[in-house]
Structure 1
Amino acid sequence: MAKKIKQIAIYGKGGIGKSTTTSNLSAALSELGLKVMQFGCDPKSDSTNTLRDGKYIPTVLDTLREKSAVRAHDVIFEGFNGIYCVEAGGPAPGVGCAGRGIITAVELFKQQKIFEELDLDVVIYDVLGDVVCGGFAVPIREGIAEHVFTVSSSDFMSVYASNNLFKGISKYSNSGGALLGGVIANSMGTPYSKDIIDDFVEKTHTKVVEYIPRSVTVTQSELQGKTTIEAAPNSIQAGVYRALAGKIADHTESKAPTPMEVTELREWAAKWGDYLLAVEQGKVTSQGAAI
């Protein structure tokens, strides 16, 4: 019997650190001896850069535009510690659906049975989470990814994007779609960041998988075109990413979240806004309680 490949999808608002987190996760999983493929599903096609010294790779859609037929091996490139890197790509600017690259790439790899051929242990889909439209929802809707994780900071628009993702997961949860593994809390740099995220996951009946602090080590590493795992392997930040990788590797049970409606989410955010203003003005001295 063929071994079961763990397929996970990492979603998150653009600019929130989703690809940074994903690449460090891939690097840390590879250190555990797992065969990993990172599947970039953002039209910017920059998911795997830090696994390949900052270098871009030809995308699936770009290659298809040049050739009538494409072998999967033509668009798979090796990165740090043997990680297989793929970028789905997007359409020409102003033309077509930005999620089409995901659909096309997934179909290509399925037809050619590439995951089985490479004997992969883990496939990680790095997906833009600003909008959960048809193309970007493919890993969820089709059940391609078994477990979904969202990267979120305590900023409202990041939480809003995560809540939208929860709605997409809930919609397809009864028809074989992927389920939520949890929230990866990123850029935890202020005293209240953790409190806001903790309150959000409590309200939506999910959980935080790992808290990732804001760190200059990440910036330094990316300026070198590398992950923190590769550029600063002995750093505290690398240890955090390794802890996340251990939890993801051991993760087996995901579930449908309970997203907030827009009105409820706005009211929740407004209460936190009022609370933080009161703290800043010195009207409140204690922090840490959910509101």
Structure 2
Amino acid sequence: MKQIAFYGKGGIGKSTAATHVAYALANQGKTVLQVGCDPQADSTANLLAEFPKPILDVLAEHDFEYEDISVDEILIQSRRPFDNGGSVFCTEAGGPEPGVGCGGKGVIEAIKTLKHLKVFNEIKPDLVIYDILGDVVCGGFSMPIRDGYAEETYIVTSGELEALYQAVNVMGAVRRFSTRSGARLGGLVVNLRGLKDEQEIVTDFAAQMGTRIIALNPYSQLIKECGGAAKTVFEEHPDSAEAEEYRRLAATIIGGDCELGVPGTMTFEELYDWWSGYVN
């Protein structure tokens, strides 16, 4: 069983990357578990006809008594028509009500619950994908990196300053816990936003941080339309360039073709000065 994490700022396309990798591998006959780690609990929307009840909500209903919870309450198997007998199981961590509590608590409780219910032993996934909000890398959201659940971390980003700043923060978490948990960065999944010299920006950024770009996706209206219909491009446009790019990304990740490493570091001031040289 291989475990990976996709991190990215809100709206950057990390859930799109996660669901498409899951779908592509299921089409190859693999079993995938996707764990949505965002308080919005919408990570798996493109794979399901319904939203699963978040683990945190289920726990609250049972007064956080793990023994009273069944796997069926927190796990839904996608009914999409995967080829070759593959399957995707979906679960959502959830989070507290707005303005109350810590968003990262959902991640902590989700992983504890999955372990307690022995979900990994029951479904025997080939790949576990943690799809994690990366705007704030607090203790909860960094748990997959810190405690060694995510053996490989992939950052979804663009050439925009905010996205790169978030990427630097996640890289800092990987770097901090690399000795303790063996955390490694697998590379960047870049979703271009149409910024001037954006490809040059992200290429230079990857080089400076000691990593590489493993997927470079132009802005795609097709992806937006499929997401709006709660579908993947594999279902709506299987022969599209977008579908082929996600097949390549999935093959790179599952095939172990990524150059795993410990990333470099950069302060916000250094990042801003460097980035400003491109856009000003």
Aligned partners of 2:267 and 2:195: how far apart in 1?
A: 27
% of aligned pairs identical? 39
SS in 1 for 2:135: coil
Matches of 1:273 and 1:134, distance apart in 2: 34
Q: CA deviation at 1:219?
A: 1.4
Match of 1:268 in 2: 274
Q: Give the aligned partner of residue 40 of structure 1.
A: 36
Letter in 2 for 1:174: T
Conserved? CA contact 1:44–1:90, under 8 Å: yes
**Amino acid in the other structure paired with 1:117:** E
Q: What SS is found at the alignment partner of 1:9? A: strand
Asked if the contact 1:188–1:211 (Cα under 8 Å) also holds between the matched residues in 2, the reply is no
One-letter code aligned to 1:32? Q
> Structure 1 pair 232/93, CA: closer, same or farther in 2 (3 Å)?
same
* Counterpart pick for 1:16 among 1, 12, 15: 12
Which residue in the other structure is 2:164 paired with? 159
Q: Does 1:223 align with 2:228?
A: yes
1:76 paired to 2:75 = yes
Q: Partners in 2 of 1:189 and 1:108 — Cα distance?
A: 41
Query: Match for 2:27 among 31, 42, 49?
Result: 31
- How big is the shift at 1:187? 2.6
Corresponding residue for 1:57? Answer: 52
Output the amino acid matched with 1:84: F
* Separation in 1, partners of 2:12, 2:58: 29
**Counterpart of 1:254?**
260
Secondary structure at the counterpart of residue 222 of structure 1: helix
Secondary structure of 1:83's counterpart equals strand
| TM-score using structure 2 length | 0.92
Change (3 A) 1:105 1:196: same
| 1:281 corresponding residue in structure 2 | none
Structure of higher CA gyration radius: 1
Residue in 1 that maps onto 2:131: 126
Q: Distance in 2 between matches of 1:177 and 1:14?
A: 26
Q: CA deviation at 1:191?
A: 6.3
Please, what is the CA RMSD of the aligned residues? Answer: 1.4
User: Of residues 2, 6, 25 in structure 1, which corresponds to 2:2?
Assistant: 6
- Name the SS for the 1:149 alignment partner: strand
1:101 aligns with 2:111: no
* Alignment partner of 2:121 out of 105, 116, 122: 116
- Give the superposition deviation at 1:230: 1.9
TM-fit CA distance, 1:129: 0.5
Equivalent residues in 2 for 1:126-145, closer than 5 Å? 126-145=131-150
After TM superposition, give the deviation of residue 35 of structure 1 in Å: 0.3
1:42 Cα deviation from its structure 2 partner: 0.2
Q: Which amino acid aligns with 2:129?
A: I
Of 149-158 and 177-186, deviating more is: 177-186
For residues 259 and 31 of structure 1, what CA distance do their matches in structure 2 show?
37
The 3-state SS of whatever aligns with 2:204 is helix
Contact 2:192 2:199 in 1 (8 A): no
Counterparts of 2:264 and 2:24 in 1: how far apart (Å)? 30
Amino acid of the residue matched to residue 62 of structure 2? Answer: K
Structure 2 alignment gaps of length 5 or more:
none
Alignment correspondent of 1:285: none
Q: Which moved more, 1:75-84 or 1:8-17?
A: 75-84
Structure 1: runs of 5 or more not aligned: 275-291
> What do the CA deviations read for 1:197-221 (whole angstroms, capped 9, x no partner)?
0000011111111111211111121
Q: Comparing 94-103 with 36-45, which one deviates more in the overlay?
A: 94-103
Which residue in 2 is equivalent to 1:92? 97
Query: How many angstroms apart in 2 are the aligned matches of 1:84 and 1:11?
Result: 20
Looking at structure 2, the residues matched to 188 and 100 of structure 1 have their Cα atoms a distance apart, in angstroms, of: 32
**For 2:155 and 2:202, how far apart are their aligned partners in 1?**
12
